[in-house]
Amino acid sequence: MPSSQKPYKQHLTCSDDLVTLYEATRAGFVALALEKNRRATPFIEQARALKSAASKATKPVQLLEINDIQSALLIASGVSDKAARHMLPEDKNEAVHGLIRKYLEPAGEAFVEELVFRFLLTQGDALGGSMRNVGGQLAQRKFTRAILSGLAIAGVSYHWLHNSTGTWAKMPKEDADIELHLRGLSWTNRRRKRTVIFNLTVPLTRNNVDLCLFDCEYKDMSPSIYKTPKHYLALGELKGGIDPAGADEHWKTARTALNRLRKAFQDNGFTPQTFFVGAAIEKKMASEIWDQLESGTLENAANLTNENQIASISRWLCDL
């Protein structure tokens, strides 16, 4: 393929085009802060409800008589929902009694405030855990929306895979926020059937891949398709972390994963196209990515914070 026809040339002219601008980094941190606040809202509302219910008690031991707050008492004692599933009832009782004896009773008249504080402490840990992969989730949503927009502009209808139910559904009349619940997309364009699956463990390498494009329609998707190398058209890594300090590590992880995929597929006689999309791209890694594009190691790449680049790489993916 002549260099003028290389897909990345549609939106990149040099490695510097891949570098994340300061303004984009700043906007990314703001977006993460807003997402954290959004996810924290239910915990704050729960804490308010707990305080209201617990205020009926005049001393800590009376909290055990309020049926509606027993699960909250367990959380306040430091037991997460995940841990609670592995505990016997007597273990849970011991944890709650320990909370009352060691922390609430010594707090005196402020025992309700102490209870609410410890409830939020445990929920804060849960929130921190969910935030660790929020960059990846936001990246997937943004990339999904770009693909949806490309299909809409082309007048192509689609089916989508619900993340929670695992079922496929027709394109809705109103698809606002569909990317919050979507794990896959399937469409037919110029008689070519295509399906994208996010976060798939590829049997050939037994590693999770952020995005896989198949030459099948949604009705054909099955474990046997996943195990068949010839059905893979493209494999991509999406890195949504915006912190420049972690940019190089994200690229190294993605580069290693893509190299492993290329070798595994080549050993089986197939060469699906590979691409990389990242939110935090520093100058040195931008040069490395550009070198891989120029050498043909990578077929495409884009900076997630650049709207034109994401629109371009999404069109390329839809046209494969």
CB of 318 closer than 8 Å to CB of 192 = no
Boundary (domain end) residue, out of 108, 131, 154: 131
| pLDDT tens digits along 147-199 | 999 999 989 999 999 999 999 999 998 888 899 899 999 999 888 999 999 99
The pLDDT of 290-313, averaged and rounded, is 96
The per-residue pLDDT for 204 is 94
The per-residue pLDDT for 125 is 79
CB of 220 closer than 8 Å to CB of 226 = no
- Report which DSSP code applies to 239: E
CB of 268 closer than 8 Å to CB of 244 = no
Angle subtended by helix axes 134-153 and 22-54, to nearest 10:
120
Say if 50 falls within a structural domain: no
Look up the domain containing 123 and give its range: 55-131
Shared-domain flag, residues 26 and 60: no
Shared-domain flag, residues 10 and 142: yes
Say if 46 falls within a structural domain: no
The pLDDT of 229-255, averaged and rounded, is 93
pTM (2 d.p.): 0.82
The pLDDT of 236-248, averaged and rounded, is 92
Say if 47 falls within a structural domain: no
CB of 231 closer than 8 Å to CB of 214 = yes
Answer whether residue 77 shows pLDDT above 60: yes
Say if 303 falls within a structural domain: yes
Terminal-to-terminal C-alpha distance of the chain: 14
Shared-domain flag, residues 82 and 158: no
The per-residue pLDDT for 186 is 97
Least confident of 56-70, 117-131, 229-243, 271-285: 117-131
The per-residue pLDDT for 316 is 95
Number of domains in the chain: 2
Shared-domain flag, residues 148 and 206: yes
Q: Which among 158, 203, 161 is positioned nearest to 184, based on CA atoms?
A: 161
Check which CATH number belongs to the domain holding 284 and give it.
Answer: 3.40.91.10
Q: What is the mean pLDDT of the chain?
A: 92
Which amino acid, 284? K
Answer whether residue 54 shows pLDDT above 70: yes
Boundary (domain end) residue, out of 88, 106, 131: 131
Shared-domain flag, residues 247 and 313: yes
- Looking at per-residue confidence, does 5 or 55 come out higher? 55
The per-residue pLDDT for 4 is 52
Shared-domain flag, residues 153 and 226: yes
Banded pLDDT at 18 (limits 50, 70, 90): very high
- Alpha-carbon gap, residue 241 to 255, rounded angstroms: 15
Check which CATH number belongs to the domain holding 116 and give it.
Answer: 1.10.238.90
Answer whether residue 87 shows pLDDT above 80: yes
The per-residue pLDDT for 130 is 65
CA distances from 275 to 43, 66, 159, 289 (A): 38, 56, 24, 10
Boundary (domain end) residue, out of 72, 97, 131: 131
The per-residue pLDDT for 51 is 96
Answer whether residue 85 shows pLDDT above 50: yes
Shared-domain flag, residues 127 and 144: no
Mind giving me the DSSP string for 47-66?
HHHHHHHHTT-SSGGGGGG-
